[in-house]
Structures are given as structure tokens and as C-alpha cells.
Structure 1
Amino acid sequence: MTLSFATPDDATRSVHLLAESATPDWRSRQAQDVQAWIDAHGFTGAIGQALLLPGGRDAVIGYGSESSRARGRFHVAAAAAKLPKGTYRLVTDLPADQLQIEALGWLLATYRFDRYKDQSPMVALLVAPDGIDAARTEAIAQGEALTRTLINTPAADMGPPDLEQAARDLATQHRATITVTTGDDLLTQNLPMIHAVGRAADRAPRLIDLTWGDTGPKLTLVGKGVCFDTGGLNLKPGASMGLMKKDMGGSASVLGLAHMIMATDLPIQLRVLIPAVENSVSGNAFRPQDILTSRKGLTVEVNNTDAEGRLVLADTLAFADEDTPDLIISMATLTGAARVAVGPDLAPYYTDEAPLSAALENAAATTADPVWRMPFHTPYEALIEPGIADLDNAPKGGFAGSITAALFLRRFVDSAPYIHFDIYGWQPSSAPARPKGGVGQGTRALLDALPKMLKL
């Protein structure tokens, strides 16, 4: 799905963006019939209100109050879906950064997942507002659409081969290079934990390696690509398995971010690594109490086969680190503990690098893409050391589950600055510009922060 701004024509309507405090004054300057129309329809400028004015050439959208806007984001999108069919041009004095967010929200509101069923399209289309970077906004929206569609697609149609094809399509679009290591070749290439997790599935495990750009600092994105997670021999109960098509949300997010980076021609050397597997049950599935030897040489005691994401990421991170990039970022739907800590709307992340965190926090605030820093709390290292192996993939006790998972991953990165995102990747109920289903988290903030992070 391509999310793009509309082309203006003679029928393009002006849509006035009115805060609650500005609505009475604006109303008083209109003709009597317009005033009566506004009063008859109860338009006050509240968030979500939209009204086509008499004559059909103008419309108004409510922008609420400062306090009401603080309770959400993409406020224009909340009303745009209520407008009748046509193209619209925003009339507003919003600062350029806020206008860009609202224009992006309008584009994102046009997203529909329609692979299996026709969906009613959004009929109100936006002309790119003056003062924004329209091409960049479209690139961000299209990257987000890619992420959403990959997550929304069920595992029957989004297994490891399908995820590989999505990466190949992206590589073709941007003239990137891609190589894939599949099946038993993972063992000969010393990627044993990716192989162990994925070997029980009919569709072979693989490591996808996409590269783009030949100058500038090196950025490596690592995305968890568990296309479906049964839990393995530690089988999940049915209620916990229901959303496991989204367990490749990390890979979907890094592919969406990669599109944004390549489409905006960021002057870097980009690498995207995705361990794509299914965590399935069969006679050759890896078992509780198995001890695996990772690519890095660290041994890992498997105390829960449902903590498989950190295993495939560990080999991938060690592989990424060997190239000594300037920054490694991993994204994964890794732990339920992160959801308990911050809920579904925040993207928690870990880093030891204060300048990276500062850049990310600033970017999150200006891109309507909230993130929350979590601690790499070193005293908890003892919790991931089982005694008979170097590491434990599932420490007992239940405390600090997201932190111990992040500490596990940190053991596999030595040479590069590192950021790890423990995302949810799912919108549990519809919100403005975010329908229920797959969603990107942290990617817009990262795109905005990368120039500072990489000192471009």
C-alpha cells in the first residue's frame, strides 16, 4: 500500500484547523449562515470534530485544548476520517514540526490491511501542506505501512521464506544487496542458535543480510524474525499463542525503518540482519535443559524454549558486532515483562550510551513516537548465570524479565555502541492514525535521531 499526498485540483477544499479557544473568534468572523450552521451542529473545536460548511468549499476540524491534546497524538487524523470524499488543504498556523506530525497522521489514517478482505478506504485525502518535507513524510508513512502489513499478515503467509521475500523486494526497490543463509548452512556458517530454534519447523530457518550504501558511518539494524512462536516444547497456552504472528514485529520494524533510511537517502552504510525462524514442535525441537554453544562461544542453558527470541538475536548480534559498526540497534517483541512495565503504547529501550539516549528522547518528543529508557542494571547479571553454562535464557523468579533479557543480549555486543528495543508491535484497540493491528514503534524517533547518533 502506497501512502501519498493527493494532487490538488479545482475541487480541493480548505479545511480550517481550530482549537477550542480559537473557535468562538473564528466563528464570529463568518457569515450569519455559517455561524448558524456551526451552532446547529454543535461544533466547538473539540478533538475529533469535523464539519463541512455551507457551500461545500470549506470545512473545519477541531484541535481541542492543550490538555486534551496531551492525552493522545495525531489529532487531525481523529477528525479527517469523518470528512466527505474529496481532497483537502489544511489552513493552520501550526509550527512546521507540529504540522508535519499532523500531516503524517493523516497519511497513516489512510492505511488499510486489505489482503484478505476489501476495506472501506478513507475518502478524505490531504494535499501536502506548505512548509513540510512532503517526500520525507511520505517515506515515513510508507515505511510504517510496510511494518504494519508484515505484522498483520498471518504466519501461514508470513513464514521465514515470505519474510525473506519481503526483504528481497525492499532490496530491489532500493538497489540494495541481499544474501541469505538457510537451513543447515547456518551450522557451517557458525550460526548454531538460529538453527537450533528454527530446525523443528517445515520452513527452514535463515539469516537475512541486507546491505545498502558504501560511504558514511556504519549502522546495523537487527530485527527478531520469529514468524510464529508456539513456545516450542514449553508450549504456550492457547490464549498466549493468539497473537504470535506478531513475534516477527522486530524484523518488520527494522525493514520499515530501513525503507525510511534508504528512501530519504541518509548518507550511511546500512546493514539489516534478520534471523527468520518458526519456533515449532516436532521430534527434533530443541529441549529444556539443552545447552547450546553460541556463535560467540558462550554456552547457554535453555531453561525455557519459549525464550527463543534472545537465542536467535544473540548469534545475530555477535555476527553484527564482528563488522565493528558505529552503532547496532536491535528491535524485538521480546518480553511480556516490558508490556507489564510500560504498557502497549510506549517503546522501551536500553542503552549504556547517554548521548544516544539524549538524541533519541529529543527525537521522540518531536515525532509523536514515544519511547522510554530502561536500565541495563548490571547487578542483575548474576540472574542470567546458571552455573553449569555461561548464560541462562530464562532466569527463574519472574523478576525484571525485560532487563535480564536485555542483559543477555548485551553479552553478545563488545565493539559497538548498542541500543535494544523491547517493543510490542501491536495496537490493541484503534486510535487516531493507528488501527487495531500491527504498528511500528520507535522507528520514527530513530530516523530523526540517527544524524546526531552517527554524527552526520
Structure 2
Amino acid sequence: MTETRALTALLDTVPGESRALRRLQIVTADGWEHFLEAASPAQRAWLEAAGFQAKRGRWTLLPENDGTPGTLLAAVESLEDLDSWSALAASLPAGDYALFEALPAAAATRAALGWALGGYAFTRYRKASHARPRLLWPEGADRAAVARAAEATYLVRDLINTPAGDLGPAELAEAAQGLARRYEATCRVIVGETLLEENWPAVHAVGRAASPARAPRLIDLRWGTQGPKVTLVGKGVCFDTGGLDLKPSSGMLLMKKDMGGAAHALGLAQMIMAAELPLQLRVLVPAVENAVSGDSFRPMDVLATRKGLSVEVGNTDAEGRLILCDALAEASEEAPDLLVDMATLTGAARVALGPDLPALFCNDEGLAAELLQAGEAEADPLWRLPLHKPYAAWLDSKVADLNNVSSGPFAGAITAALFLERFVAPGVPWVHLDLFGWNPNDKPGRPKGGADFALRALYRVIAARCGG
């Protein structure tokens, strides 16, 4: 299992050529006083002289009774705090470590996952700056669960971190096809003018300006033949100039991440397929580049959509909802038991919630409650915003069935969600996640760059609903 990149920081056994394992004794913030009481006078004096505190990521060598270096003491907020284990994986010197004492099974799993996440680095264009510490698998850890979560996280981050020059619609489709081959799924890709022939007009309209070099496409992955129907939809805007409503250079700088929703859909699909959950999975990813050319769609154009609703373009920089509306309409035709879309959709959600909290919109109260609880349990939080129906009138158009943007400056995340809701069939349990897809600063287990949100929370709910 440790052959995968996401698990290289975890050891099944100690390699023969490795240096001896270093014993890693863990102390929690709550258990610090008790630890001091049990320590020898020499150890207490050492810790006081070193100024050691039981805070996340702190560590020091403890002396043996004869004064020689012994156990390495490391602090975590709690035994199940992912960030604490990630901080240790990022801060400890290179070497091989083993826990001094066994942990409860749940804590052992969290320790292994946190350690794996702390070892992430994007190394496509340069080598890692330094060697990482490795941890012997904690006894009792759920290795399969750790592998699923860590590998999906690495996939999401790698896809988002890859520059648009190397990850366009074609390369995004290749990533989906690679997953399909790995898990014996099917993957159909509809490209260019064929989108019009097969009634994907909004996807074609947004992406046609980048043709032929970066033609738009619709990625359709299917896996599983029995059980509940779960459909994932991911926004795959591989680069967003804003279209003719051109972004300023500062706003365009991070737009390689505008396919973050697609990355999340593929990462979550990988978790589901790896676990062999008893369900029928479908993944729909409209993949485009919102470019500027003589064939760009224009402000005040009226676009056709797969559902038959006409949409007036109030702003070409609100293109994500236009490609998602076709995918949501197609997904709804099969009446899935659960429909989830994920998208780096609005700046308004970031203004409201900051970079760390994805905005959750949901048309099912029970499902929303499950997701919020799962987010807390997995240290993968979400925050719910309302589908406030009166704001739907702000999307009215005098020339089309609706506009793609609100008539005013308020509640941009809510009006975007309300726009998408128009393309979801009544009675279909639907979740919309408006996420950032990026860490602006380095954090334990979450380096600056492409970031995953709500993967573990979504997986937990889907697995529970499918009996997995």
C-alpha cells in the first residue's frame, strides 16, 4: 500500500538500510500536567530549560536518566487532531519514527492520515526542498480509509496546482479517463461542435472561443450498476479570463484554480470507487477555457441551454454557472438519489466565509444536517447559506427566461445557487458547494496552493447512505 505517493511518509516495516527507528512519545495539551508529574526531575529540568510547551507541532528530545538523548517528545492538541499530526510530519527532522505507545483505533487512523497530508508537496516542476520524516503505520489504523482520503486529496491538489498551460480541457479529460481505466469505469468525452449536435449549447457557447486548440468538452464517467444513483458535477473552467468582461490581471492570477470543482468531483469519485461503495456513480464535468477571441460569447447574448430555458448573459465572467446548468439538467433527467455539484463559483462566498469554509446550499433539510455533522466529525467543515427564494426575482430578464447574474450587488453566492436550482428537477436531493479551492497561506497539512474542501465530509455522508 505504501507504494503510492500519498503514503510514502508511512512505513509498513523498517527498511534494512534505514537508521534505527526514533521513538515518538506523544503528549496532548490536556495531558501535559499529568506528563510532567510522571517525568523524572532531570526531564522536568530539561523541558523547563528548553522552554517546551505542549502546543501543536512542538517537539524536543527527552534525556534518559543517564543524560543521553532518548525519546522524542511531541505535542498534539488532541490525539485525533489532524492538523497536529500534519504539523509534526512537516516539522520533524528527516528520519523514521514509531509511536512510543499505541493509540485508540480512531486516533491511529487520524494520526496516519494527518501524517500523510502533512507530507504533501507539489513537485511536478521542482524537486522537494528537503526529505520528509516517515512514520511506521500506527497499530490499529484503518489503512484503506487513510489511503482513500490521502490519495484523493493529493489528486485534487495536484490538479488545481497544475498551470493552465499544462492542464486544459483535454488534459482534464485525460485525468478522468485515467481514473476510469484504474477502476474499470466508462468515460465518454464529447468535444467541440459535437456538443451542439448532442444538445450541450451552454457548454459550447462558453468554451468555443478557445477552439480549436482548447475545444470545450463534456466528460461523462460512469461506474457501478447497482444501488442508489449518485451524480457528481464539477465546474471545469481550466482558465478564466473573464471573457469579454475581462478580469484585471490581479483577478486573473489564480484562475488556473477555476477547475477546482472538477478536481473535487474526480477526487470524490476516486474515494467512492476505491471503497467499492454499492452505488451507481456518474460524474459530469463540463471542461472549458473562458477565453477571448472573435468567437467569444458577449454580454447581453441570449444562450440556449440543455433544459430549454433561455439565459441572457449579464456578465461573461459568470460563466461557471452557464456550463453547470447544462450538466445539472442532464443529471436531473436520471432522477439521482443524490446530486452534488462543486464549483469555485463566486467571490461573494469568499467575502462571506473566507477561504477555509465552503458555502453549502441544499434543498433537503435532512441531507444538509448530515453534511454539517459529517464536516464536524471529519474536521472538514462546511457552512450553510440559504436558498432564499425572494432573491430569485433578481435574476429576471426582459428578453430571456432568466439572467445569469443578479440585477444588484447583494447576495452573489445565493443568487448563483438560485440560478443553478432552476436546472435541478423537483424532488432531486441536491447539494451545491461554492468553494475556494486554494490556500492563501501555509497551514499544517495544507500548504499554500491548491486545496481540497469537504471531500471527507461528502464521502462520509455518501458511504453512510449507501451502507458502506
- Give the TM-score taking structure 1 as reference length: 0.94
- 2:5 alignment counterpart: 2
Equivalent of 2:155, from 146, 165, 176? 146
Letter in 1 for 2:415: T
For 1:96 and 1:346, the matched residues in 2 are separated by 28
* Pair 333,268 (structure 1): closer, same or farther in 2 beyond 3 Å: same
Alignment RMSD, CA only? 2.0
- 2:114 alignment counterpart: 105
- 1:48 alignment counterpart: 57
* Pair 335,144 (structure 1): closer, same or farther in 2 beyond 3 Å: same
- 2:429 alignment counterpart: 417
What is the SS of the residue equivalent to 2:96?
strand
- 2:442 alignment counterpart: 430
Equivalent of 1:293, from 297, 301, 304? 304
- 2:260 alignment counterpart: 249
For 1:93 and 1:21, the matched residues in 2 are separated by 18
Letter in 2 for 1:343: G
* Pair 291,93 (structure 1): closer, same or farther in 2 beyond 3 Å: same
Cα drift, residue 123 of structure 1 = 2.0
Task: Check whether the contact 1:253–1:443 (CA below 8 A) recurs between aligned residues.
Answer: yes
Cα drift, residue 219 of structure 1 = 0.5
Letter in 2 for 1:109: G
Cα drift, residue 417 of structure 1 = 1.0
Equivalent of 1:61, from 74, 85, 88? 74
For 2:288 and 2:61, the matched residues in 1 are separated by 50
What is the SS of the residue equivalent to 1:306?
coil
Cα drift, residue 147 of structure 1 = 0.1
* Greater Cα offset, 446-455 or 307-316: 446-455
Cα drift, residue 94 of structure 1 = 6.0
Task: Check whether the contact 1:46–1:65 (CA below 8 A) recurs between aligned residues.
Answer: no
* Pair 90,361 (structure 1): closer, same or farther in 2 beyond 3 Å: farther
Cα drift, residue 361 of structure 1 = 1.3
Q: Does 1:444 align with 2:456?
A: yes
Cα drift, residue 182 of structure 1 = 0.2
* Pair 340,31 (structure 1): closer, same or farther in 2 beyond 3 Å: same
Gaps of at least 5 residues in structure 1 are none
Q: Does 1:343 align with 2:365?
A: no
Equivalent of 1:395, from 389, 400, 406? 406
Task: Check whether the contact 1:101–1:367 (CA below 8 A) recurs between aligned residues.
Answer: no
Letter in 2 for 1:119: A
Equivalent of 1:168, from 177, 185, 193? 177
Task: Check whether the contact 1:347–1:422 (CA below 8 A) recurs between aligned residues.
Answer: yes
Equivalent of 1:83, from 84, 92, 95? 92
For 1:320 and 1:160, the matched residues in 2 are separated by 20
Show CA shifts across 1:70-124 (max 9, x none). xx96112223322222222334676544443333121101111011111224521
Please give the residue correspondences for 1:164-203 in structure 2 after superposition, counting only pairs within 5 Å. Answer: 164-201=173-210, 202-203=213-214
For 1:61 and 1:439, the matched residues in 2 are separated by 27
What is the SS of the residue equivalent to 2:283?
strand
* Pair 92,427 (structure 1): closer, same or farther in 2 beyond 3 Å: farther
Gaps of at least 5 residues in structure 2 are none
Please give the residue correspondences for 1:199-214 in structure 2 after superposition, counting only pairs within 5 Å. Answer: 199-201=208-210, 202-214=213-225
- 2:284 alignment counterpart: 273
* Greater Cα offset, 127-136 or 171-180: 127-136
- Give the TM-score taking structure 2 as reference length: 0.92
- 1:370 alignment counterpart: 381
For 1:97 and 1:122, the matched residues in 2 are separated by 28
Cα drift, residue 376 of structure 1 = 0.8
Cα drift, residue 455 of structure 1 = 6.1
What is the SS of the residue equivalent to 1:148?
helix
For 1:56 and 1:153, the matched residues in 2 are separated by 43
* Pair 313,363 (structure 1): closer, same or farther in 2 beyond 3 Å: same
What is the SS of the residue equivalent to 1:286?
coil
Task: Check whether the contact 2:102–2:138 (CA below 8 A) recurs between aligned residues.
Answer: no
Show CA shifts across 1:24-56 (max 9, x none). 432443455544433332222122201233456
What is the SS of the residue equivalent to 2:91?
coil
* Pair 385,90 (structure 1): closer, same or farther in 2 beyond 3 Å: farther
For 1:429 and 1:160, the matched residues in 2 are separated by 28
* Greater Cα offset, 408-417 or 137-146: 408-417
What is the SS of the residue equivalent to 2:11?
coil
* Pair 416,207 (structure 1): closer, same or farther in 2 beyond 3 Å: same
* Greater Cα offset, 1-10 or 145-154: 1-10
Task: Check whether the contact 1:85–1:124 (CA below 8 A) recurs between aligned residues.
Answer: yes
Cα drift, residue 452 of structure 1 = 3.4
What is the SS of the residue equivalent to 2:317?
coil
Task: Check whether the contact 1:8–1:87 (CA below 8 A) recurs between aligned residues.
Answer: no
Task: Check whether the contact 1:101–1:368 (CA below 8 A) recurs between aligned residues.
Answer: no
